[in-house]
Amino acid sequence: MKKASVLVVEDHPDTRNLLTGLLQMYGYEVTPAKDGAIAWQLLESTRPDIVVTDLTMPHVSGFELIRHIKEKEADQLRRIPVVAMSAFGNECLSDAQKAGASQTLRKPFDAEELAGLINQVLAA
């Protein structure tokens, strides 16, 4: 059985490394990106099964990344679900859902909650 692939987009190195390690521990194939601009490039070459992104990042924000994914009309990118994460509260997470995020998660997060959310989104 093929491992589900996750593109993790997080500008803080410690959090990015934590997410990468946790998701690998749960059996996912993980590609990390330090910002939305790098994620745009990786989306074209890796075509992940799901994207997990922080919302507040330099260069290209998580909001811009979500819009980029969801605005690709006739493109396979549009079908990629996105889990958006933020420590900045419910309004920020609500805005992410309006932008097209499949699910949201408030930081700090619980590892099992994150893995369960990813499984739920991938099963949908």
Digit-coded pLDDT (tens) for 41-80: 999 888 999 999 999 998 899 999 999 998 865 578 889 9
Range of the domain at 46: 5-123
Rg of the chain over all Cα atoms, to the nearest angstrom: 13
| Total structural domains within the chain | 1
- Name the nearest CA neighbour of 104 among 43, 113, 57, 23: 113
- pTM attached to this predicted model: 0.94
Digit-coded pLDDT (tens) for 82-95: 999 999 888 999 99
Are 53 and 96 in contact by the 8 Å Cβ rule? The answer is no
Identify the CATH number of the domain in which residue 110 sits. Answer: 3.40.50.2300
